[in-house]
């Protein structure tokens, strides 16, 4: 193939791009474009791969889907079927999970500024765990729990002072972060003391950390795990704190373009466990249950966005712009992070490139560019462009800029297609508007 395929993606007998046994041109005709297409088999493969590694190593664990990557009723139901837990970061994600019938006891609630209403909702639903992020939240959550005369399991989020090699906007584990309690500045220890002192409402089961996103090596994860485990030895001796759970977050890299070289998920897991086990054995520390939170690595490569090509602009001796019927309204990552993607013409993905073009979105914004300098065969208006690896943070960060309706989402598997999110209509866009007169 002229491109590196993902999951069940292939070129079918008529030369079209096919995903999950379904011709992408037929999907575009049936559901319209832009259209997010998810390869269900690939999502299942990734979910089972993470779980299998823990099982093979005999380590008690929870694999929680970090649902900020893509949140919808259908994906929550799929993750439930695969036996995963769920990481939510807002009342809206929590509400969606409950509408999907996701077991509340397997839901973990994150966030650096949870509101009283969100905390009350989480407690009323009976979720399994709240990850405490700051001192304000300790007191607020304690108030809510006492008012409801109940208790809840909590983790304390720490920033271990490890910098991941990734985009500055998505670094979260270093000392200068809006998330968590600093491990090196004493805040984490103070948080543990306060939470342990409130054992009438809190059951402190362990610690959480997340060092960043789209990470292609294991060094950062290993350093973070090692540093926290060494600190747990100190806190066991000094505070009589025994962590049942060590949640090492997510951030495992995926392949957006041929330049990206992610490791197999099993390698991240194996090396993390090795470091945790080493410190535990050397210090007679009970091996904690390991939790991880893959999000992008479960759904990113499983998503493909289909667009219809429209206008073309030639700037002599500079570049050729090819515009599509979507853009920063359905994928803001190129504008926000300078994220890079690969794409092909869905009707003839094997055809050799004849030119280099830049794929422009339709939003009224100069920065609305999806792909710069993409090699393609000569394209015509009306053809379908397939952009790969859009399964994470495409739909979840979609917006109505320029009053563009959000795109539809379809799942494909074994030759079947299932609409799981309807396309927004113009009527949807104004349904919350109130007239001035």
| Alpha carbon distance 134, 153 (integer Å) | 16
Q: Is 296 annotated as a binding residue?
A: yes
Question: Is 337 within any annotated ligand binding site?
Answer: yes
Q: Extract the tokens encoding 401.
A: 């800029």
Distances, alpha carbon 154 to alpha carbons 54, 129, 202, 219, 245, in Å: 23, 5, 7, 27, 10
CB 97 within 8 A of CB 113: no
CA 211, 216, 219, 225 torsion-angle sign? positive
User: Among this protein's residues, is 363 annotated catalytic?
Assistant: no
> Does 293 count as an annotated binding residue?
yes
Distance, in Å, from the CA atom of 285 to the CA atom of 288, rounded to the nearest integer, reads: 9
CA–CA separation, 84 and 219 (whole Å): 26
For residue 226 the two structure tokens come to 């090692």
- CA distances from residue 379 to 335, 348, 349, 351 in whole angstroms, order as listed: 24, 10, 12, 11
Question: Cα(192)–Cα(264) distance, rounded to whole angstroms?
Answer: 34
> Any known ligand binding at 393?
yes
Is residue 302 packed enough to be buried (19+ CB in 10 Å), middle (13-18) or exposed (0-12)? Answer: buried
Burial track 407-429 (b if 16+ CB lie within 10 A, e otherwise):
bbbbbbbeeebeebbebbeeeee
Instruction: Find the catalytic residue in 129, 209, 363, 364.
Output: 364
Instruction: Give which of 89, 400, 42 is closest to 249, Cα–Cα.
Output: 89
CA atoms within 13 A on the CB side of 213: 19
Alpha-carbon gap, residue 198 to 135, rounded angstroms: 13
Query: Can you tell me the distance from the alpha carbon of 394 to that of 38, in angstroms, rounded to the nearest whole number?
Result: 12
Is residue 105 a known part of a binding site?
A: no
- Contact 66/108 with Cβ under 8 angstroms? no
Mark out the alpha helices in 91-216 (DSSP H runs): 91-99, 116-125, 135-148, 187-197
Which DSSP string do the residues of 331-362 spell out, in sequence order?
Answer: --HHHHH-----EEETT-TTSPP-EEEEEE-S
Q: Annotated binding site for substrate, which residues? A: 296, 333, 337, 365, 393
Q: Which residues belong to the active site?
A: 364
**Binding site membership for pyridoxal 5'-phosphate: which residues?**
251, 293-296, 393
Residue list for the binding site: 251, 293-296, 333, 337, 365, 393
């Amino acid at each position: 193939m002229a491109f590196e395929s993902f999951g069940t993606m292939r070129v079918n007998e008529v030369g079209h791009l096919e995903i999950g046994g379904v011709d992408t041109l037929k999907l575009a005709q049936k559901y319209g474009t832009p259209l997010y297409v998810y390869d269900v088999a690939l999502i299942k493969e990734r979910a089972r791969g993470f779980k299998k590694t823990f099982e093979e190593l005999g380590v008690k664990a929870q694999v929680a889907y970090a649902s900020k990557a893509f949140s919808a009723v259908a994906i929550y139901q799929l993750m439930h079927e695969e036996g995963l837990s769920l990481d939510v970061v807002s009342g809206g994600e929590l509400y969606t999970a409950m509408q999907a019938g996701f077991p509340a006891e397997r839901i973990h609630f994150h966030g650096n500024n949870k509101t009283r209403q969100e905390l009350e909702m989480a407690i009323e639903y009976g979720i399994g765990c709240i990850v405490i992020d700051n001192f304000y939240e300790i007191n607020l959550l304690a108030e809510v729990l006492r008012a409801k005369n109940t208790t809840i399991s909590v983790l304390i989020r720490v920033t271990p002072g490890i910098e991941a090699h990734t985009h500055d906007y998505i670094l979260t584990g270093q000392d200068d972060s809006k998330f968590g309690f600093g491990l090196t500045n004493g805040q984490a220890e103070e948080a543990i003391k306060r939470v342990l002192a409130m054992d009438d409402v809190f059951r402190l089961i362990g610690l959480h950390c997340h060092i960043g996103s789209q990470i292609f090596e294991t060094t950062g994860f290993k350093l973070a795990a090692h540093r926290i485990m060494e600190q747990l030895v100190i806190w066991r001796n000094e505070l009589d704190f025994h962590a049942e759970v060590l949640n090492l977050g997510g951030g495992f890299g995926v392949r957006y373009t041929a330049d990206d070289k992610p490791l197999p998920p099993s390698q991240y897991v194996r090396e993390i466990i090795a470091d945790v086990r080493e410190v535990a054995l050397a210090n007679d520390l009970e091996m904690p249950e390991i939790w991880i939170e893959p999000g992008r690595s479960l759904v990113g490569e499983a998503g493909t966005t289909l667009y219809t090509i429209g206008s073309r602009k030639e700037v002599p001796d500079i570049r050729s712009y090819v515009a599509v019927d979507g853009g920063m309204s359905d994928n803001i990552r190129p504008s926000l992070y300078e994220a890079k993607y690969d794409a092909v013409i869905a009707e003839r993905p094997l055809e050799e490139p004849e030119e280099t073009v830049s794929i422009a979105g339709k939003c009224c914004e100069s920065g609305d560019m999806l792909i710069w300098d993409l090699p393609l065969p000569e394209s015509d208006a009306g053809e379908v462009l397939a952009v790969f690896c859009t399964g994470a943070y495409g739909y979840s960060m979609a917006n109505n800029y320029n009053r563009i309706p959000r795109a539809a989402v379809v799942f494909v598997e074994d030759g079947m297609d299932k609409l799981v999110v309807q396309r927004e209509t113009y009527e949807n866009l104004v349904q919350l508007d109130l007239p001035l007169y």
